[in-house]
Structure 1
Amino acid sequence: MKKKYWLGLSSMLLLAACGNGAGETAGSEGTTGGDGSGVVIGGNFELSGGASAYGTPMSNAVELAVELKNKDGGISDEDVTYKVYDNTSVAQEAASVATRLATEDKVTAIIGPATTGDAVAQTPVLDRAGVPAVLPAATGDMVTMKDDETVWEYIFRVCFQDSFQGEVLANFAQNDLGAKKAIILQDNSTDYAVGLTEAFESVFGGEIVSKENFSDGDTDFNAILTNIRDKDFDVIFIPGYYEEAGLLIKQAREMGITQPILGPDGFANSTLVELAGADNVDDIYYTGHFTPNSENPKVQDFLKAYEEKFGVEADSFAALAYDAANLVLAAVETAGTTDSKAVTEAIAKTTDFEGVTGTFSLDENHNPVKSTFVIELQDGEEAGNTVVSPK
């Protein structure tokens, strides 16, 4: 997941000026679990700002994973401590949080941040410090790579990549929906959307009838929808986030545009349905990392525990962070030490990890080899899902 940032340069400079040195955050902090004498896991999350809808459930899920681990005896009979700071959805602040966690708190590993931009900002810090990070939802293709051939030693993720979901949606449009003609409504203000568009176009074998652009923060889409309303097409692809997508869906359906609408993991937030109106959310399909409708006992236990603790249903971002945390905890146990270098090596060797988002192994580029879901929404509710496996 790549996310947009709504704080301008002046706001970023103000936040930096408010700190007393590298690693001091402008936001809140919290500690859960033990007294810090055993395993200490860091959280670098967007708990406020534009990406807080992603970062907050992620941090909650890490807290839950640590709590359940401690109830089960912890690691080597010691409680695990979770120490989290708010990076305020600002890349510069994410780097500062990483510095604080790695050099002052001396954590064994870090979970987060949520977004690609924030994740990339912390990477040089962790490379120098030799502390691993597992990214729950940073889907940008090159996040784990220094260049086309060299992997960042300490950076891992548990989510699929943008190119994979763009290809999945193109194949789903052709093979499952029988689409031969597509329209793309693209957020041209983000690398996330542009990359998804390129991946979709590279695989879709039919005709791209039209491509219309909008920008982050737009709310009135009547002009671009009027441009496409009378064209001959089978599906609409909207590479973007739930804020604009929800309004696009609402306005499209109210204009009488009834064709199926496809979207990426940026659709995976309940606010999409709230913005669109449940009655308008028919024939919507998006790539998802997780489905709460799974009959897997591990998934159902996670959902129950999360709702009991936080009073809300876990979303896919919580599920990804829960897997990221448990992967790190398993690696610490495998390594038999809190030494970050040894834990990094154990993470890199992960195979057949059974998480709530599926079973996966990490490849040579520190990406998970795993299946994804294409989630179908009807009347604002999940009506089904299609499992898509990597080639």
Structure 2
Amino acid sequence: MGKSRWLKGLGVVLSLALLAGCSGQSKEAKAPGQAGDEILIGANFELSGDVATYGTSSLNSAMLYFDEVNAKGGINGKKIKVIKYDNKSDKAESLSVVTRLVTQDKVSAVIGPVTSGNTLSVVSFADDKKVPVITPTATNPDVTVDPKTGKVHEYVFRTCFLDSFQGKAAAEFALKKGAKNAVILVSQADEYSKGLGKFFKEAFTAGGGVIVSEEAFDKNDNDYRAILTKVKGKNPDVIYLPAYYEAVGKIVKQARGLGITATFVGSDGWDSPKLVEVAGKDNLNNCFFTNHYTPEDPDPAVQAFVKAYKEKYGQVPDALDALAYDGARLLVDAIQRAGSAEPEKIKEALAATKDFPAVTGTFTLNENHDPVKDIVIVELKEGVQTVNAKIKAQ
């Protein structure tokens, strides 16, 4: 072979190799959220640890809806693939999970975590990486708005009402029941609990009530009788206890055992079947809590959800179940409206959500990415939830 022919042949080989290399790179460089005929969605839930019942039921509800969508052909012909991890009810692990979902799994969006503390650990990452995060149930105001800068977290959204509304609603309810004074009991290491205590105090005192004591407890304790003995000495009309079901159950049970008959008012963190198991149904009489929905609502959308959930999981869905179902529905709706699984377009569609027909009540997302919606006051009678009142969105 002559030199010129050899060089020409080498050039052809190098060109083919270069083309092959480019072709290989294009296959690997998939857009986030795309995997062939699938749309990748991340799930970051508390499947073990302190609030495992919340995370597990929330994931079940989200999967219920995603499965319904896939059974009907998916989103614009693409099936949803959910990549799910356990954040172990831990802030650091919640951040680790979202990091993995976004940087390794290349999801289009993430649903979860459940609690405010765990969600707060991921919001800055969501903004930095420009991937939408929808929390169904994190109610702390700081989740969607940075308290230091006042700026909205551009990529963070939720389907639940805020603690500011929830705390105020609880205070107004207590005052309407004739309470003149109150004790506030909060979990000392929990942003959710402390935030609600603050909002309750502001509204209760503004309405003429007096806070006679504020106490902080360790949610990991088993014996709360020392704090409750102090509370009993204050003889309050109302004890405001914004916390999660495990600690709430123990506190209410021990309070009744000490002869404390005051009305307990709590928050949506009470809503778990475990509460009755821990506290005992008789001890929960004269107890109320703010919540997002009730399965007794005759609305056809609510009853269809309750029926589907019971058929699949064998129990009545609580408020967190309904909120997670709504979170999944909101995400799918945004992808459909965006006509794309690109994170940026999903984010834009989420921000434009108006009059969304959720199971927990029709809502519009405001400029802070928070839903404007009503709140339910739930009363416990022998451990059974009943609707005591509804308070309109503010």
Q: Secondary structure at the match of 2:113?
A: coil
Residue 37 of structure 1: aligned partner: 37
- 1:316 alignment counterpart: 319
User: Which blocks of at least 5 consecutive residues in structure 1 are unaligned?
Assistant: 1-33
Q: Per the alignment, do residues 120 and 210 of structure 1 end up closer, same or farther by CA in structure 2, a change over 3 Å counting?
A: closer
Q: 1:187 to 1:160 in 2, by over 3 A?
A: same
Q: Distance in 2 between matches of 1:368 and 1:92?
A: 27
What secondary structure sits across from 1:153 in the alignment? coil
* CA distance, structure 2, for counterparts of residue 184 and residue 118 of structure 1: 23
CA gap 1:92/1:209 in 2 versus in 1, 3 angstroms: closer
Alignment CA distance shift 1:162-1:148 (3 Å): farther
Partner of 1:270: 273
The aligned runs of 1:1-391 (5 Å cut-off) are 37-146=37-146, 147-175=148-176, 177-204=177-204, 205-229=208-232, 231-391=234-394
Deviation for aligned residue 1:231: 4.0
**Mapped contact 1:36–1:80 kept (Cα < 8 A):** no
Looking at structure 2, the residues matched to 36 and 308 of structure 1 have their Cα atoms a distance apart, in angstroms, of 32
Write the deviation string for residues 301-332 of structure 1: whole angstroms up to 9, x where unpaired.
Answer: 11121122222322211111110110010011
Distance (Å, rounded) in 2 between the aligned partners of 1:225 and 1:91: 29
Higher deviation after alignment, 38-47 or 371-380: 38-47
Work out whether residues 111 and 133 of structure 1, in 8 Å CA contact, stay in contact via their aligned partners in 2: yes
User: Contact (CA 8 Å) 2:116, 2:191: kept in 1 or not?
Assistant: no
Quote the RMSD (CA, aligned, Å).
1.8
What residue identity is the alignment partner of 1:183?
V
Offset, 1:94: 1.8
Q: TM-score, normalised by structure 1?
A: 0.86
Shift of 1:230: 5.1
SS of the residue 2:142 aligns to: coil
Q: 2:83 corresponds to which letter in structure 1?
A: K
Residue 369 of structure 1: CA displacement? Answer: 0.7
Aligned-pair CA distance for 1:220: 2.0
Q: Per the alignment, in what secondary structure is the counterpart of residue 354 of structure 2?
A: coil
CA distance in 2 between partners of 1:42 and 1:361 (Å): 24
Larger radius of gyration: 2
How far the C-alpha of 1:232 sits from its partner, in A, is 4.1
Q: Is the 8 A contact 1:235 1:260 kept in 2?
A: yes
- The alignment-based identity, stated in percent, is 44
Which residue is equivalent to 1:7?
none
Indicate conservation of the 8 Å contact 2:163/2:195, yes or no. Answer: yes
CA contact (8 A) 1:36 1:81 kept: no
Q: Which amino acid aligns with 2:188?
A: N
Task: Say if 1:342 and 1:375 are closer, same or farther in 2 by CA, change over 3 A.
Answer: same
Q: What secondary structure sits across from 2:139 in the alignment?
A: coil
CA distance in 1, matches of 2:349, 2:74: 18
More helix by share: 2
Give deviations 1:221-258, integer Å, cap 9, x for gaps: 32333333354432111122221211221122233322
Q: Which piece of structure 1 moves more, 301-310 or 280-289? A: 301-310
Q: How many angstroms apart in 1 are the aligned matches of 2:248 and 2:96?
A: 32
Range 143-152 or range 104-113, more displaced: 143-152
Change (3 A) 1:108 1:213: closer
Partner of 1:19: none
**Residue 82 of structure 1: how far off its partner (Å):** 1.7
